[in-house]
Amino acid sequence: MYNSVILKRFNLVWKAQEQINLLPQFYGNIEQKTNVKLDYNLEVRKRFTSTEDQNEWFVAVDKQKLETFLDAQIISNSNENVNAPFGFGKVLQTGYVDVSLLYDVYQLYLQDLGVFQNEVFDYDNLIMHLDGFEYNGIKAKNIVFAEGFGLHQNPFFNFLPLDGTKGELLKIHAPNLKLDYCLNSSLFILPNGNDNYKVAATYNWTDKDSLPTEEGKKELLDKLDAIINCEYTVLEHFAGVRPTVLDRRPLVGEHPIHKSMYILNGLGTRGVMLGPYLAQLLFNSIENKTELDPQVDIVRFKDKYF
């Protein structure tokens, strides 16, 4: 899901408009190559819990930087299976990408081109030359590591302060819920087709594995039961670790010692938005020698670790 406003505090996401502007071109290009629909415009509605909640919305709408992302009109609730007596606020320029499908179809596309290998990367087999790199017979001028939380196993970049925040989500079947928008409250409920919905997410800053927990499931179900009034069935329970960074900015750029070795990481909870934008920044830095934004460039940690 992509949404440019952090609704809990009504803050605009870093470089929000630049990221949003790039999405149709980026995902549209992949859709053309794979002939599969991946990017969907979908309305996001923030559920109000009080009149004070509504008033905070109106204050946020009046902020110049947020006016293109928040609709001033309060939407009344007409769904008897949703508990929302104070209505909703509509967030603009929102949608979602079917990431699981994207992963599958783009991998097949790359395999057909003969440029994808599905295997565990062995850092010990990477050979560094003066003019590039060699790995199991593959020669390249540059190498980019984009490993998410797996960065901790990378001997070249594990000095960076990638923290990691575990999150859990559920997939439910609720035939009577009938939502045609993403509902944002203490959690979000995202329509997933065929009366299925994704319900997420939890935040755990201490647990660093990808295993679902009963505690996480209970937290999600308790919050869900406070919002909807219809029966549902839990179909699946997932967990993963978001690649978050201590200073809340991504990790992009060239290794301070090994030239032509790069990293693209730390996208946190907004990879669908940040990924295309940061990939373009890094590509231009590598190929066109443009300077990276200092807020994301890993050179900001160079003095601390080298």
What pLDDT, on the 0 to 100 scale, is given for residue 157? 96
Residues 242-289 pLDDT 10s = 999 989 999 999 999 999 999 999 999 999 999 999 999 999 999 999
Residue keyed to tokens 């003019």: 131
**pTM for the complete prediction?**
0.93
Q: Distance of CA 182 to CAs 41, 60, 84, 88, 214, Å? A: 11, 20, 14, 11, 25
**Domains, the chain:** 5-100 (no CATH), 121-161+248-305 (3.50.50.60), 165-242 (3.30.9.10)
Paired tokens of 103:
């992963």
Calpha distance 58→56 (Å, rounded): 5
Average pLDDT of the segment spanning 100-117: 96
CB atoms near residue 189 (< 10 Å): 25
Residues 136-174 pLDDT 10s = 999 999 999 999 999 999 999 999 999 999 999 999 999
Paired tokens of 276:
């295309």
138-140, strands of its sheet edge to edge: 126-129, 132-135, 138-140
Cβ-Cβ contacts under 8 Å for 10 (sequence gap 6 or more): 56, 59, 60, 63, 66
Residues 183-224 pLDDT 10s = 999 999 999 999 999 999 999 999 999 999 999 999 999 999
The pLDDT confidence band at residue 304, using thresholds 50, 70 and 90, is confident
Find out whether the peptide bond into 84 is cis, omega within 30 degrees of 0. Answer: no
Reduce the DSSP state of residue 1 to 3 states and report it: coil
Spell out the long-range contacts of 108-111 with Cβ–Cβ below 8 A and sequence spacing 24 or more. Answer: 108/34, 109/33, 109/34
Residue 306 near residue 257 (C-beta atoms within 8 A): yes
What pLDDT, on the 0 to 100 scale, is given for residue 38? 97
